[in-house]
Amino acid sequence: MLEGKKTATKPPVRKAPAALGETVKDNEVSRRSFFSWLSLGWIGFVASTGGFFTMMLRFFFPNVLFEPVQTFRAGYPDDYIIGEVDTKWKDKYGVWIIRNREGIYALSTVCTHLGCTPNWLASARKFKCPCHGSGFKSTGINFEGPAPRPLERYRIVLADDGEIIVDKTQKYQQEKGQWSDPEAFLRV
Amino acid sequence: MDSFKEIVNYISNPTILFTTVVLVFPFIFPPSDWFEKWHRRLGLHHLWGTKFIVIAMLGMVAFFMYGLGDYNFQKIVLKPDNVPISGLIFLVAFFTWLAMNQAYKNDERLNAGEKPNEYFEAPNDKVLVWPDLVYVELISLIIASAFLLVWSIGLPAPIEEPANPTESPNPAKAPWYFLGLQEMLVYFDPWMAGVVIPSLILVGLMAIPYIDRNPENSGFFSYNRRRLAISVFMFGWLVLWLMLIIVGTFLRGPNWNIFGPFEYWDIHKLEALTNINVSEIIYIKWLNKGLPDSIIIREIWGISILLGYFLILPPLLAKTFLKDMYARLGSVRYSVFIVLILIAITLPIKMYLRWMFNLKYIIAIPEYFFNF
């Protein structure tokens, strides 16, 4: 670009090319020193960007991770009414606990379409996602909207004292046939 | 006047609105001789005359003024998030008209053997960057900044309660420019509508100059000589993108149900939207037996439909309707073009399949996150 401007004002003076290894006197940068400076520049550039990306990478591994509790006690089976969806653990743990005639199961509150939190519509007896309109029955089965698979269930067992323990680290997916696992459904 | 509101509510249901737009579109932006003939015969070329834009703008302003008297309409249109979309309706209408108006004027000039209007703005195909262009840009920049400043003070961002992963607002809407994608997500698997198709939209836009290498009409507005290209692009832009943004902004309410612009956003509105996959239609509805255990046997029908759509349809079209295009583009460019177009058309196809047959997915393999 700069060259172009210069040529516009006065024609360039052509010089005979310097012989190999011969230093060019009028601008003091020889071919060899040019390459040393260039490599120095590159090393500096790579080092600084590398350092910067190392810092960025370090940022992804925090010193302290505030993870919510993954296992919690959810009261006694008698706390849950047959045929009702209990939403009291939704805000704290992201779990719905539902009791039907045979037993109790814990559903994840994460929509299987894109991860929003559906709402339990008691009058229509369905979970309805506010993001793209996916609908789930109280069993967790997807029946309307775009959700491709049912809601996931969490491990649910009884403690020795008869209290329910919900373990969110273990999940059961219907499409993989995992709902028949004895710990995916608490018989009462 | 209530009956007017009810009519508007009724026709703004996407099934009716979208169908009407799709049917009318090729007559407004004719892609071929036949549509062009009817475009003229129906007098639709008057749409791009000066008289029409004045009437249309006044009509739209009148409609908005009337609507603002309605509580539900006012609430949705004046929500600070949605003001850009109200503006968008007017701006897009005006600028589409402006481009088409200039294109039609140029078409007439070209047909009469004259040079296009733009020729006289820059006779040797060059304008000066300084001062002409830089000046205009500087002034636009200052005006836009001032406008944004006033706007952000006048319509503050609606700050809601602190973020909570277990609580999604109802309805939960993406930023306005993503509402077209969100609308697409209603009909597709998140992996498809969230990742694959948006990437293909970008790739497709980048591919345009390589697919359409027709050098004709570069540098000025014209419709007639590039009507197929313009018509296809306008369909994607106006119908599949902007219209879906407008639908997502104004017509989607609680639980992502459809609400008319004058309809109360009732959280308890019930809509039966139960939907099923192709495999369920074939094995459960038609053959009256359970789904087979093998995924391949279960999904073979959907897979064949899709393979047919993407592998058999393109050569079939190349031999019949798109013969000229195939000859002009050659096999590579034709294949890229037709596959991109066919993917774009899956959106309206899937919308209609959902509306008409409650069809969820043609291929549904949730076990491996592949649903289409």
CB contact under 8 A, B256 and A175: no
Residue B45, pLDDT score: 92
Classify residue A40 by its DSSP letter: H
Judged on CB neighbours under 10 Å (0-12, 13-18, 19+), A83 is exposed
Question: Measured between beta carbons, which residues in chain B are less than 8 angstroms from residue A117?
Answer: 165-168
Instruction: Give A167→chain B minimum CA distance, Å.
Output: 17
Higher pLDDT, B51 or A29: B51
CB pairs under 8 A between A and B: 86
**pLDDT score at B205:** 93
| CA nearest to A97, candidates A45, A154, A145 | A154
CB contact under 8 A, B171 and A90: no
Task: Name which residue leads in pLDDT, A117 or B217.
Answer: A117
- Residue B296 Cα, gap to closest chain A Cα (Å): 15
pLDDT score of A16 more than 90: no
Residues of B in contact with A128 (CB under 8 A): 255-256
**Secondary structure of residue A20 in the 3-state scheme:** coil
Angstroms from B340 CA to nearest CA on chain A: 23
B195-218 in b/e form (b: 16+ CB < 10 A) is eebeebbeebeeeeeebbeeeebe
B170 touches chain A (CB under 8 A): yes
What's the CATH fold of domain A71-187? Rieske Iron-sulfur Protein (2.102.10)
DSSP string, A131-142: TT--EE-TTS-E
- Ramachandran angles phi, psi of B134, nearest 5°: -60, -40
Tokens 């049912």 -> residue: A150
Q: Do A148 and B364 touch (CB under 8 A)?
A: yes
Helix (H, G, I), strand (E, B), or coil: what is residue A187?
Answer: strand
Interface of B with A in 247-266 (CB under 8 A): 254-257
Q: Which two tokens stand for residue B306?
A: 């899709």
pLDDT over 50 at A5, yes or no = no
Q: Which residues contact B118 (CB under 8 A, 6 or more apart)?
A: B106, B219, B220, B221
pLDDT of residue B120: 83
CA separation for the pair A63, A47 (Å, rounded): 25
Other beta carbons less than 10 A from residue B168's beta carbon: 18
Phi, psi (5° rounding) for residue A130?
Answer: -80, -5
Q: Which residues of B97-121 are buried (b: 16+ CB within 10 A; e: fewer)?
A: beebbbbbebbebbeeeeebeeeee
A30-40 average pLDDT score: 91
Cβ atoms within 10 Å, residue B77: 19
Q: A142-144 and A135-136 as β-strands: parallel, antiparallel, unpaired?
A: antiparallel
pLDDT tens by residue, A147-156: 999 999 999 9
Does the structure show a pLDDT above 80 at A162?
yes
How far is the alpha carbon of A145 from chain B, nearest alpha carbon, in Å? 7
Q: Is B254 left (phi over 0), alpha (psi -120 to 50) or beta?
A: beta
Asked whether the beta carbons of residue A145 and residue B190 sit closer than 8 angstroms, the reply is no
Give residues with Cβ within 8 angstroms of B241, minimum separation 6. Answer: B180
Tell me the shortest Cα–Cα distance from A67 to chain B, in angstroms.
13
Option in A129, A144, A176 nearest B274 (CB): A144
B169 touches chain A (CB under 8 A): yes
Confidence band, pLDDT 50/70/90 cuts, at residue A21: low
What is the pLDDT, as a whole number, of residue A19?
Answer: 52
Using a CB–CB cutoff of 8 Å, tell me whether B126 touches chain A: no
Measured from the Cβ of residue B318, the count of other Cβ atoms closer than 10 Å reads 18
Question: What is the predicted pLDDT for the residue at A22?
Answer: 53
Give the strand pairing for A103-108 and B370-371. unpaired
Beta-strand relationship, A84-86 and A95-99? antiparallel
* pLDDT mean values, one per 10 residues, chain B (372 residues): 89 93 95 94 93 95 94 91 91 95 93 88 78 92 96 84 84 90 93 92 92 84 90 94 94 93 89 88 90 90 94 94 90 94 94 93 89 89
Distance (Å, whole) CA A26 – CA A20:
16
User: What is the number of other CB atoms lying within 10 angstroms of the CB of residue B367?
Assistant: 12
* Rounded-to-integer distance, Cα B155 and Cα B153, Å: 6
ipTM score: 0.85
Contacts of A108 (CB under 8 A, 6+ apart): A94, A95, A151, A152, A153, A154, A168, A171
Asked if B273 is an interface residue toward chain A (Cβ–Cβ < 8 A), one would say yes
Place of tokens 């009724």: B10
Asked if B361 and A143 come within 8 Å (Cβ–Cβ), the reply is: no
* Res B212: pLDDT: 87
Spatial CA neighbour of B171 closest among B234, B243, B82, B233 = B82
Whether chain A has a CB inside 8 Å of the CB on B168: the answer is yes
Query: In 3D, which of A145, A63, A55, A32 has the Cα closest to residue B182?
Result: A145
